[in-house]
Amino acid sequence: MTIEYDKDLTDLTTFRVPAKAAIYAEYESEKDLLALSRTQEFMENELLHIGSGSNLLFINNFKGLVLHSAIKGITKYCKDEETVFIIAGAGEKWTDLVDYCLSNNIAGLENMAGIPGEVGASAVQNVGAYGAEAGDFIHSVKCFDVESRKTIILQKEQCSFGYRDSIFKHEAKGKLIVLNVSYRLRKGNDARNLSYRPLQTFAESLGRTPTIRELAEEVKRLRAIKLPDPEKVGSAGSFFRNPEPSAYFFQEEIKPRGSDISEHPSKKEGRVKLHAAWLIDHAGLKGARIGGAEVWPNQPLVIANTGKATGKEVAELAAHVVETVKLKYGIELEPEVNYIDSAIKVTVLGTGTSKGIPEIGCTCHTCISTDPRDKRLRASVLLETHGMRILIDASPDLRQQALRIGLSRLDAILLTHQHYDHVGGIDDVRPFCAEHDLPIYANKQTANDLRVRVDYCFRKHPYPGVPKLDLHEVENRPFKINGLKIIPIEIMHGNLPIYGYRIGDFAYVTDAKTIAESEKEKLKGLEVLILNCLRVKQPHFAHLILPEALALIEELKPKRCYLTHACHNLGRHEEISGLLPPGVEYAYDGEIIKIE
């Protein structure tokens, strides 16, 4: 086991963009990892586990601990005349495992010859190519549970393998570390998986069934034609997933934009698969460049580092691809690559209370203001970090808020509580459910309320086009969204317990009246706090007013604080600004807050 500090990661990822890790540790055994898990570096820092870095894009330096497995070894167990099990350490190169199988006349993995990466990543990413996926052959995965510090084994059916997907990219991300992978393979020298058309053509040219070695060589030849040489050009292979929109959305929204778009069968019920490479190609993006990043001319699914590209340049080019395809075909491509970006961008979507400002029919001093900062929709924010977009609360004004900022993708929603001004926009998330069920995280009471409020979303046979929601009940303890740590903070909204949320150095607390001392500890050391403040003087039974909010800010001492959830009695923005101490502002709709 070795621990290094200020580690240069440039040559430890296949993109080879410049980046550093505050701490880096490599371990050679399960025993090493257990010892490492007891160190201060492990317990007190954000963790990121990497293999050969073949699916990572560092946008900036990583402030936590980067882990790498050096667990090696390949073991063979023959079950019977037909079946053989191969167990490989997570740190083994995938290409070495495939070569081992070819040398020992073990069939199954030959279609995936030449894929960069390590064995551990084959389970995490469910790597695949030319008609085969690792998940088709994985029997079990041995893991280290970060929380319990115990070893567990997941059987194939527990891994939730899907197209370039697995449990390790979602619920288990950051919780389970892959130690080794067991594959159920076949004895034999004949290649049987010829489902990919170019491989059928290859077999026809031979006039016979190819051997597994012949097929592997043909696969590597095809990869060399389409993909950049990994020794010369940095990339992550396929940058985007093939989208799988609902059949209804495809017929209603996508097909009318391009009659030549072909849909393909999907393993997911009610969905179709489209080829991302075709969409990028027909959007005219082959060869597009930003700085040293380029859409690879021979395979537009690849974004390559052709020179000294930065992570930001690659991300900007990817965003250009996404936007262009969206404009032409109405579907938003999702990266297969994981963005490692600790920066946080918060877009304030609404800063008003339950009635908003101006209130309907009101002619008070605030409601007749012409200052755009006094036009306040119902409260919510959009958080962007680690390549994800997370909405906190879906206000009744969500449609207007989303159109205002051009929001076209959501990865998840956090709900603070069940009051209508915080959940009334749930029906407007329909566009964000076109390609996958949208995850929503809420406490039990809010989740139960949603099942009644929008019951049509949870029926066994829902009406086509209704929001497809993946509802998660969360308790008052940290949980993760695709590896991003979310810390709930229980606060009291009058007599109602509700949640605020902390993500990194940012926290969002709205509708608070009181906060227990133990929960206040979760709000210490913040860069940015967004906190509710209803009005200036008149007390309220369920909301903080200005003196109470300022007292709490003085106690918590965030570096910056933005107040939200205002009613018209607060007064105009320019007036309230004159009452605030340094480091405290009243937020306004459309404001963008950044934490680098």
Catalytic positions are: 164, 238, 336
243 — phi, psi (to 5°)? -65, 150
Per DSSP, helices labelled H in 397-545 are: 398-405, 420-423, 444-453, 517-520
What is the 3-state secondary structure of 61-110? CEEEEEEEECCCCEEEEECCCCEEEEEEECCCEHHHHHHHHHHCCEECCH
Provide the Cα torsion 472, 474, 477, 482; round to 10°: 10
Per DSSP, helices labelled H in 126-250 are: 197-206, 212-226, 247-249
- Where on the phi/psi map is residue 573: left (φ > 0), alpha (ψ -120 to 50), or beta? alpha
* Residues forming a β-bridge with 382: 347, 391
Helix 94-103, helix 212-226: angle, nearest 10: 150
Cα 24 to Cα 3, 144, 329, 335, 374: the distances in Å are 6, 18, 42, 26, 48
Say if residue 581 is preceded by a cis peptide, omega within 30 of 0.
no
Q: What ranges make up the beta strands (E) of 505-558?
A: 506-509, 528-532
Determine contact, residues 90/122, Cβ cutoff 8 Å: no
Cα 299 to Cα 296, 305, 313, 433, 591: the distances in Å are 5, 14, 19, 28, 39
Cα 385 to Cα 39, 47, 382, 450, 560: the distances in Å are 27, 16, 10, 27, 19
- Where on the phi/psi map is residue 50: left (φ > 0), alpha (ψ -120 to 50), or beta? beta
